[in-house]
Amino acid sequence: MQYHNGTTWVDVPKQARSPAIPRADYNHVQFPTLTAQRFRVVMTHQAGHRTALKELQVFHAGAHAPPAHNVAPYALATVDPSFRSAGQARLTGVVKDDALPRGTLTATWSKVRGPGTVIFAQPNAPSTLATFTEPGDYTLKLTASDGARSTESTVDITAAAIPAVVNVATAATPTASYTSPWEQVAAINDGIDPPSSNDGVNRRWGTWPEQGEQWVQLEWPNPVRVNASDIYFFDDGGGVRLPASWRLQYWNGQSFVDIPATYDVAANQYVHTDFPGVTTTSMRAVLVGETASVGVLEWQVHNEPSTVDPLRLETRQSVLPALPATVTRTYGDGTHVDSPVTWATVTVKDVSKPGRITVYGVTNDIPLIVEATVEIRRGRQGG
């Protein structure tokens, strides 16, 4: 709670909250009597969420406010069960506090146990992506701290190995030539396998009443090299039917170019298409409906396997190594593609003694575990 003192907004002193940790619906705050014309509530959103207020009431209760005591923060470590990516988990932690003693709240993820290294995309964010360098059972811990007190919460995760070939479509942004107002183009790469071509449960992409040639597009923030597609067509038996024909295109840097391949059409199943590998930032599936509209329920695009050579770096005692922001993938035909990489956290303690350590990272576009061997030389920088 804050009030305007005639010049600026300041915190209401000695706020005693019940409950101490914010909750839905009723929250009661008591404080010593003060005189003001303007009050407001200042709220800090939880990561990835917004906050709404139903009603605010301010009273002169005539009662003495109890003393305010700092309560330990609230922490809950959870995982998103709908996230589908082998060797990775989307962590959806929750941290809350009573804003005492200084109004600060931090969150930190760490590994408690597990066979490999855990790479946190944002280790200090309650919601983040975790990548596991080895398959197996892990326990992760979320710690919430207000600077004086802390709370811990753990979550158990079973991680599978990261496969060499994955569906990269889920990392792309979908667009389309046209989408029916009641349909959603985001359906095509949401990772949900349709039960049939006439899926009435999950969201869909369709173009009714538009007919003729229509396209749906995937765009990646960084180049990917792909050589296979699986597409599930939408057919409701009415205005949206299987395409009369279709084809794949890729962006060559200047225009969309047709990909030579055999294009089958079938209902109630994924239609698989192999094609010569292409390196691109965007692909299109172009569908032609001669007497009806067209649609897609799910579209998967698969990468070619690639490798990244291990890195060798040097640093001095107590100096953090300069880990590169990108690494170079090498494909079977000799093609090279630079990929952004997220590294596991390295602390000063890790490099405090001469020797050698291995730092693991994961590429952000197509998940691939990479490693850097860091040689720690004796003596500090400038010494």
Domains of the chain (ranges; CATH) run 74-159 (2.60.40.10), 168-303 (2.60.120.260), 307-377 (2.60.40)
Give the tokens for residue 300.
């998967």
- Which token pair is 272? 């698989």
The pLDDT tens digits of the residues spanning 143-170 come to 999 999 999 999 999 999 999 999 999 9
DSSP reduced 3-state for 185: helix
- CA–CA separation, 287 and 318 (whole Å): 58
> Per residue in 165-205, pLDDT tens?
999 999 999 999 999 999 999 999 999 999 999 999 999 99
Q: Among residues of the chain, what percentage have pLDDT more than 70?
A: 98
Q: Per-residue pLDDT for 382 more than 70?
A: no
CA atoms of 80 and 84, how far apart (whole Å): 9
**pLDDT tens track for 288-314:** 998 999 999 999 999 999 999 999 999
Q: What angle do CA 263, 265, 271 make, to 5 degrees?
A: 75
Residue 162 to residue 23: CA distance in whole angstroms: 39
Instruction: Specify the pLDDT at position 380.
Output: 60
Amino acid type, 84: R
Distance CA 227, CA 259 (A): 10
Say if strands 39-40 and 2-4 run parallel, antiparallel, or are unpaired. Answer: antiparallel
- What is the rounded CA–CA span in Å between residue 145 and residue 107? 7
Closest by alpha carbon to 216, among 231, 202, 227, 226? 231
